[in-house]
């Protein structure tokens, strides 16, 4: 009887350390074929063309952990033309279009695996230095003014969608950005995309501190489901 009672305890004792290692084991087994987890970011275009997924070497500086846990269980495409976008477009009737046949769905993880993987990803913080430079004030801004700036004054919608079927396709959708990303990352990447990814196809538009703050507020408003009126 005593042995029977002890068995579950022994099992838990053996399983506990294994669970703690699971996240990195899963990442090394399943993620590294498409994701870079140790850096450096691509330094040449040939490396960019070989991209199959976002660089995760700074995942802990970039993502919100709760979002990662949720998304890994139910992944949905964030970049309409995938990554690298150039590998997933073709000539269409009126203009180039996304070649859907070339895009693959992301693997689905169980809740336990998603939690373990997300936890490990949050440890990858290659760019604490860049994040530390961002000083954002908590607050809210005018959604209408934010959209005007994003769309008309900065022209960002050329490459990004601000709602599911409006905007450009070569960059990631921004209407979910605040749910996915840490605000300091959003500000830092827009401030200097090349500091994060030297060969990224996102240009540095030299956005001012004040406008970076407004963009973060705008993305908050979009992610809160208050999309634009289009």
Partner 1 sequence: MANKFLFVLTAVLFSITAHAKESAVDNYKTYCVQCHGLKGNGNGVNVRDMSVQPRDHTDAKSMSGRSDEMLFKVIKEGGPSIDKSILMPPWGDTFSDDEIKDLVQHLRQLCKCKFGS
Q: Examine residue 229 and tell whether it contacts partner 1 (CB under 8 A).
A: no
Minimal distance, residue 172 CB to partner 1, in Å: 13
Q: Which residues lie closer than 8 Å to 192 by C-beta, 6 or more apart?
A: 130, 204
Tell me, rounded to whole angstroms, the distance of Cα 172 from its chain centroid.
8
Q: Which residue has the tokens 């908050």?
A: 220
Q: Is the peptide bond before 84 cis (omega within 30 degrees of 0)?
A: yes
Q: Which residue has the tokens 């040449």?
A: 44
Given 95, 101, 137, 229, the residue binding partner 1 (CB under 8 A): 95
Minimal distance, residue 146 CB to partner 1, in Å: 16
Given 86, 103, 125, 223, the residue binding partner 1 (CB under 8 A): 86
Give yes or no for a contact between 200 and 80, defined as CB atoms under 8 angstroms apart. Answer: no
Rounded distance between C-alpha atoms, residue 223 and residue 180, angstroms: 9
Of residues 56-85, those binding partner 1 (CB under 8 A): 81, 85
Of residues 159-218, those binding partner 1 (CB under 8 A): 159, 166-170, 192-194, 198-199, 201, 203-206
**DSSP string for 115-128:** HHHHHHHTT--TTH
Minimal distance, residue 59 CB to partner 1, in Å: 23
Rounded distance between C-alpha atoms, residue 97 and residue 94, angstroms: 9
What is the CB neighbour count within 10 angstroms for residue 188? 24
The C-alpha angle 32, 172, 223, rounded to 5 degrees, equals: 115
Q: Examine residue 110 and tell whether it contacts partner 1 (CB under 8 A).
A: no
Q: Is the dihedral of CA 98, 77, 141, 214 positive or negative?
A: negative
Minimal distance, residue 168 CB to partner 1, in Å: 4
Given 25, 148, 154, 223, the residue binding partner 1 (CB under 8 A): 154
Q: Examine residue 222 and tell whether it contacts partner 1 (CB under 8 A).
A: no
Of residues 111-150, those binding partner 1 (CB under 8 A): none
- Most distant pair of Cα atoms in the chain: their distance: 76
- Please identify, using beta-carbon distances, which residue of 71 and 175 lies nearer to partner 1: 175
Query: Binding marks (x or -) toward partner 1, 39..58, rule CB under 8 A?
Result: ----xxx--xx---------
Q: Examine residue 89 and tell whether it contacts partner 1 (CB under 8 A).
A: yes
Given 59, 72, 98, 207, the residue binding partner 1 (CB under 8 A): 98
Interface positions with partner 1 (CB under 8 A) = 43-45, 48-49, 81, 85-86, 89-91, 94-98, 152-155, 157-159, 166-170, 192-194, 198-199, 201, 203-206
């Amino acid at each position: 009887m005593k042995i029977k009672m002890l068995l579950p305890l022994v099992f838990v004792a053996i399983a506990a350390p294994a669970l703690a290692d699971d996240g990195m084991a899963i990442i090394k087994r399943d993620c590294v074929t498409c994701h870079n987890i140790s850096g450096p970011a691509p330094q040449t275009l040939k490396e960019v063309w070989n991209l199959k997924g976002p660089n995760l070497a700074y995942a802990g500086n970039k993502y919100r952990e709760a979002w990662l846990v949720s998304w890994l269980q139910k992944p949905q495409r964030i970049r309409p033309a995938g990554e690298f976008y150039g590998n997933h477009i073709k000539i269409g009737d009126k203009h180039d279009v996304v070649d859907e046949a070339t895009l693959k769905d992301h693997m689905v993880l169980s809740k336990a695996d998603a939690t373990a993987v997300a936890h490990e990803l949050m440890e990858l913080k290659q760019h604490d230095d860049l994040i530390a430079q961002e000083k954002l004030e908590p607050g809210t801004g005018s959604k209408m003014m934010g959209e005007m700036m994003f769309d008309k004054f900065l022209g960002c919608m050329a490459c990004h969608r601000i709602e599911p079927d409006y905007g450009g396709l070569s960059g990631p959708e921004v209407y979910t950005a605040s749910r996915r990303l840490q605000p300091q990352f959003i500000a830092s990447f827009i401030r200097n995309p090349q500091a994060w990814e030297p060969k990224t196809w996102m240009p540095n538009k030299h956005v001012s501190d004040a406008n970076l703050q407004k963009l973060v507020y705008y993305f908050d408003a979009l992610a809160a489901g208050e999309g634009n009126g289009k």
